[in-house]
Structure 1
Amino acid sequence: MATCYRHPSRETGVSCSNCGRPICPDCMTTTPVGMRCPECAKQRTKVRHMRDMSAGPQVTIALIAINVVVFLTEGSHAFTISGGAETGSVIREGALLGSSEMPGLAGQGVAHGQLWRLVTGGFLHASILHIAFNMWVLYYLGTMLEPALGRVRFASIYFVSLLTGSLGALIVSPHDITVGASGAVFGLMGAAAVEMRARQIPLMQSGVGTLIVINLIISFTIPGVSWGGHVGGLIGGALAAAVLRAADRYRSPALGLVGCAAIALAAVAGSIEAAKSSEVEPSGAAPALVTPEG
């Protein structure tokens, strides 16, 4: 059994939920997210004094606001399936697309240098139900994670997940037009799972485990859902959270952000490669015009 890092003669089975060091009862500080060692408890107190806690989860609210405003600009043709009405210009120019030979879309996509689609596709939605569900989950997870991680880390995880979600979607369906914040939202689920495990909170009892399982089932059973985007986002978010937590153990938060940037760059590079390798349309295949991510 491990011994307390401050009292080597005392055995303990409890570790600090932040840095992972073993602590005895005399060294434990109870917090809403688990037990903390004296050093981490002091650090948490200082950070709380520095933040305006009454401001709320500002990044979460800002992301929701951006998604809603963009959705309102999409127009009445926000969602179109192959053979239906013409898509609005916002979706046509901003949705995630690797490459396509469809009339009006030939020569467009990530394969042709339109890298903004890797990000903008995550702020477009196919219907009111689509955006409502994604924004509800974003708010639920954002109000949980942003206060615990801080705004910069939370935003880092969100955008890393968005990019790895785009990578997953391009690997699985590079010729489909894909929209939705689900890749990023799945990334927040992955990050929440990492944080719960690190803080010794039972995943299923917290509700996060159930949320992940239900959404994965939906991803693989309902036609028209980008399961590649969902799985890519889930993996990216979990990886980003793990990198940030590992950096905390070495007392180097900046290193964690560098790690997140590296994951994001790798996702962009992988997306470009996936899009370019799919430039030739498969014989006899008719690409779907819109494939919502969630």
Structure 2
Amino acid sequence: MPFEEPAVEPESTVTTCYRHTKVECHVRCTRCDRYICPDCMREAAVGHHCPECVREGARSVRQARTAFGGRITTVPAVTYALLALNVLAYVAELVRPEIVDRFGMLGAGLAGPDGGHYVWQAVHPPGFSAEGVVGGEWYRLLTGAFLHLPPTEGTFGILHIVMNMAVLWNLGRQMEAQLGPLRFAALYLLSALGGSVLVLLLAPDSLTVGASGALFGLGAAYYVVSRRLGAHLNQVNRFMAGLLLWLLISAGLTSWQGHLGGLLAGLAVTAAYAYAPRARRSWVQAGACAGLLALLVALAVWKAAALA
């Protein structure tokens, strides 16, 4: 009887995804040659890549930056967030008007036993208590920059927040695109703080509210950035002349101290952004912001101690 060789089964040709082992696939990653299923395919210049190769490639590719070292973004998320915070704070004011007295920028004042608010006196009668920064309410240095005049009060009423938000919408998007989200946020907050600190130094008994100090800082940033990038100076100079003119006019209508403090802080921050040496740009920019913050805090502490 002739010898019969056992039948040999053909080798399986089924291939599966390296990540999803139960999914049959026939496409390989053009970088690592592993099989990938449709869920794992990532479009590449040639063929497809797997998720790991895509992440590895992203780590090895240098990310594009703005002219001032910031992260490039197509959505001005910080500007939108600031707009939302201002509007929400305004709605809260309409519901609870006492928020203005509780969180507005005030250097030194007295809260009376009758619930009223009085001019500051270092030596005050029994039953009166200190309020404002001198009373330990340091948060007012920033919270006041997110509040605005009630609809029927002050020179502008509801136009106060409308005008400020229009400026924030226009300037904020431009500056965030040029500086990047993180640098833009630092500029805005330091400008707001700079305005509050100058109010504390020069008019500590005045209750002030509004984003104007921060917006004057953005105006200063627009000027510095435009000059650094070589923009058409006629338009830039007209803008700056209008900003300074409004600073003079506002001296008789609103808190010029807040406007001037924001303008000076914005100039200082943006000058550091624009003229920092490229080799160590991030360190110089961060150091300048930290230095300005330390100076503003030191001035506020000194003034609070002097008032007390």
Q: Same fold (TM over 0.5)?
A: yes
In the alignment, which residue of structure 2 is the partner of 1:46? 64
Determine which of 214, 221, 233 is the counterpart of 2:245: 214
Other structure's SS at 1:75 match: helix
Once residues 267 and 175 of structure 1 are traced to their aligned partners in structure 2, the CA distance between those partners, rounded to angstroms, is 18
In the alignment, which residue of structure 1 is the partner of 2:78? 59
Determine which of 99, 106, 123 is the counterpart of 1:97: 106
Give 1:143-158 correspondences, 5 Å limit: 143-158=173-188
Contact 1:166 1:271 in 2 (8 A): no
Give 1:103-252 correspondences, 5 Å limit: 103=112, 104=115, 105=117, 106-127=129-150, 128-206=158-236, 207-220=238-251, 222-223=252-253, 225-252=254-281
Shift of 1:246: 2.9
C-alpha root-mean-square deviation of aligned residues, in Å?
2.4
Contact 2:195 2:257 in 1 (8 A): yes
Give 1:26-45 correspondences, 5 Å limit: none
Shift of 1:269: 2.0
Contact 2:191 2:214 in 1 (8 A): yes
In the alignment, which residue of structure 1 is the partner of 2:296? 267
Query: Which deviates further from its counterpart, 101-110 or 174-183?
Result: 101-110
Other structure's SS at 1:101 match: strand
Once residues 174 and 213 of structure 1 are traced to their aligned partners in structure 2, the CA distance between those partners, rounded to angstroms, is 23
Equivalent residues, number:
223
Once residues 124 and 159 of structure 1 are traced to their aligned partners in structure 2, the CA distance between those partners, rounded to angstroms, is 14
| Greater relative contact order (CA < 8 Å, ≥ 6 in sequence) | 1
Shift of 1:75: 2.2
When the two structures are superposed, what TM-score results if normalisation uses the length of structure 2? Answer: 0.66
Once residues 200 and 92 of structure 2 are traced to their aligned partners in structure 1, the CA distance between those partners, rounded to angstroms, is 25
Once residues 145 and 44 of structure 1 are traced to their aligned partners in structure 2, the CA distance between those partners, rounded to angstroms, is 23
Once residues 74 and 272 of structure 1 are traced to their aligned partners in structure 2, the CA distance between those partners, rounded to angstroms, is 28
Shift of 1:51: 6.1
Once residues 202 and 77 of structure 2 are traced to their aligned partners in structure 1, the CA distance between those partners, rounded to angstroms, is 34
Query: Which deviates further from its counterpart, 108-117 or 197-206?
Result: 197-206
Shift of 1:255: 2.8
User: Please, which runs of 5 or more residues in structure 2 have no aligned partner?
Assistant: 1-60, 118-128, 151-157
Other structure's SS at 2:130 match: coil
Contact 2:65 2:72 in 1 (8 A): no
CA change 1:44–1:274 in 2 (3 A) is: farther
Larger Rg: 2
Percent of residue pairs bearing the same amino acid type: 37
Once residues 159 and 172 of structure 2 are traced to their aligned partners in structure 1, the CA distance between those partners, rounded to angstroms, is 19
Measured against aligned partners, the alpha-carbon deviations of 1:57-94 in whole angstroms (never above 9, x if no partner) come to 111111011000000001267xxxxxxxxxx3311211
Contact 2:225 2:270 in 1 (8 A): yes
